[in-house]
Every structure is written in C-alpha cells, then in structure tokens.
Amino acid sequence: MGLKSSQKRERQNEKLRMKNRAYKSTARTLIKKAFLTIEEGNLEAAKEATAEAVQALDKAAAKGVLHKNNASRRKGRLMTRLAKMEKAA
C-alpha cells in the first residue's frame, strides 16, 4: 500500500490517460473519415471532413496529447491529398 499522495497520483494519471486516449481516438477517427471522403471524390464533404480533422489535431496538439510537429505533419498530408483531389476535379 503506497502513500496517500501516490495513490492520488495514480488516480489522477489514470483519468488523464483516459482523456488523452479520447483526444487521440477522436483525431484518428476524423482523419480516417477525411481520407475516406477524399477517396470518394465528394469535394464539399471532403473539405468539411478535413476541417474537422484539422481542428481535432490542433486541439490534441494544444492539450499536449500529440506533439505539435506530429499534428502539423498529419495536417500537411491531409491537406496535400485534398489539394490533389481539388486539382483533379
């Protein structure tokens, strides 16, 4: 049995871990959704889905869940794919 403070830290860390997992999961889901919409070829839906994914990535980076460079790289890849689609359309 640890000290009272170490038990509290364990509880806090578990809560934070769950919140971080939720941010990551949301970002991952929205990125997949954006890529799928881009593949389908619907320009308006793709723009909307990409905007949602970018917002989720920015939020995750701001909270410290993702490193800012990691979020930036993912956004760049997403935007590049969207730009290719716009050019082809």
Domain ranges of the chain: 4-88
Cα 48 to Cα 59: distance, rounded to the nearest angstrom: 17
User: How far is residue 49's CA from residue 58's CA, in Å, rounded to a whole number?
Assistant: 14
d(CA 20, CA 67): 12
Condensed to tens digits (0 to 9), the pLDDT of residues 18-63 reads 999 999 999 999 999 999 999 999 999 999 999 999 999 999 999 9
Nearest C-alpha neighbor of 81 from the set 44, 38, 27: 38
Q: What is the dihedral of CA 62, 29, 42, 46, to 10 degrees?
A: 0
Domain 4-88 in CATH: superfamily? Ribosomal protein S20 (1.20.58.110)
Query: Is 0.85 topped by the overall pTM?
Result: yes
